[in-house]
Structure 1
Amino acid sequence: MDVLGNTPAPTTAIDVCMDDGFALNSGLRVTGAGVLLLGGEAFKWRPWISEGRPAGTIGSGATGDDGKGVKSPGGKLQNKKGQWHVDDHVWGVLDLAWPKPDLLILGTGRTILPLSPETRRRISDLGVRVEVQDTRNAAAQFNLLATERGVQQVAAALVPIGWREGR
């Protein structure tokens, strides 16, 4: 019995997890970046970019031009302990959102990585619970919960499955 059979999926539901991005139910394709799904909106999301560093894409190894013609090194999402750690500025849109979602589903790429205590504390300080999964399972859980509970209650931050550390 499918109790959600007549309930339409949200337009921000993930249809396909690609190596370098995502295809959403609305027909939107986000490539060369991750995606932050919040309040029924989709935002291009590059958590591997440090503040003050020019943006790059996954296809170019997440490198950016520093303005002097020198390519910046690839981005990092892990600390020395192998924990998923990002700068506080990557949560800017989530910080501005009102009302805040109850749950953030974080997809860390091809595999599950534990959150660093600092990153977990930052998300918690925003008043949001976080659940960490690999990106494919995180997308599936977001689709289910966003359909069931609504896009105002559930958010997702997803790193593409093709992300490789230090590329």
Structure 2
Amino acid sequence: MHYGFPAVVPVRQRKEHQRPSRPPHPAPPPPKSRGVPGEANQSIEGRQPKPESDLGSLDVLGDVPPPATSVDMCFYDGFKLNSGAVVSGGDGVILYGGEAFRWRPWVARDGAALRLLNSKGQWDTANEAFQMFEGLWPRPDMLIIGTGRQIRPVAPDLRKYISSLGIRVDVVDTRNAASQYNMMATERGELEVAAALIPMGWQEGVGAK
């Protein structure tokens, strides 16, 4: 699937012998073993007191496989998905409907400058960075934007544009955005939620290479 905009390119399966150029960004132990990006998804069973009630440990989604586009690892310059696909080289990624797209939102604003923020420190890409959602139906109910290592507010005009598509916006840092997407895509389905993430190592004017 390709919508013709240069900032969005489909992600292809990466060969197994290729590896990302930077090690994964360290992440704190996840509250659950399923669907949380980090260095590895390891069970934390035995590290916490056993609940007195069996209902406290009931996980109705325990047998539900995570989506193929769930994020397994957040790297300095990209991501590794549950499908085995790797996005690297400083590219971001859009996840929706079981598909992943390399994402370069700075191209929509000024590709040469590698900038995403306005003078007020707000995330202020051109609307074209999210133009692919105009051609989608159904559209996701929620778009989770991961703004790198730090949370950056979305500029009012950009938020208004995304809202005009009938999509709600949640903005968090990239690591937590990936975790939130994994959980919501598993619980609600991949057509209900989308994610737009830039790498943890992104720096204004430099990128994440």
TM-score, structure 2 as length reference: 0.69
Distance 1:50 1:37 in 2: 18
* 3-state SS in 1 of match to 2:145: strand
Q: 1:35 aligns with which of 65, 72, 93?
A: 93
Contact map agreement 1:38 1:94 (CA 8 A) in 2? no
Report the alpha carbon displacement of residue 136 of structure 1 after superposing the two structures with TM: 0.1
Distance 1:157 1:6 in 2: 27
- What residue is the counterpart of 1:134 in the other structure? 173
- What residue is the counterpart of 1:166 in the other structure? 205
Q: Does 1:16 align with 2:73?
A: yes
Identity of aligned residues (%): 54
Q: Deviations over 1:90-128 (max 9, x none)?
A: 112111111000000000000000110011011101110
TM-score, structure 1 as length reference: 0.85
- What residue is the counterpart of 2:32 in the other structure? none
- What residue is the counterpart of 2:138 in the other structure? 99
Structure 1, unaligned stretches of length 5 or more?
56-71
Distance 2:135 2:75 in 1: 28
* 3-state SS in 1 of match to 2:151: coil
Q: 1:151 aligns with which of 170, 173, 190?
A: 190
Aligned-partner residue type, residue 98 of structure 2: G
The number of aligned residues is 148
Q: Which runs of 4+ in 1 moved over 4 A?
A: none
* 3-state SS in 2 of match to 1:131: strand
Q: Deviations over 1:130-155 (max 9, x none)?
A: 00000000000000000000000000
Aligned-partner residue type, residue 38 of structure 1: Y
* 3-state SS in 2 of match to 1:122: helix
Structure 2, unaligned stretches of length 5 or more?
1-56
- What residue is the counterpart of 2:114 in the other structure? 75
Distance 1:114 1:36 in 2: 19
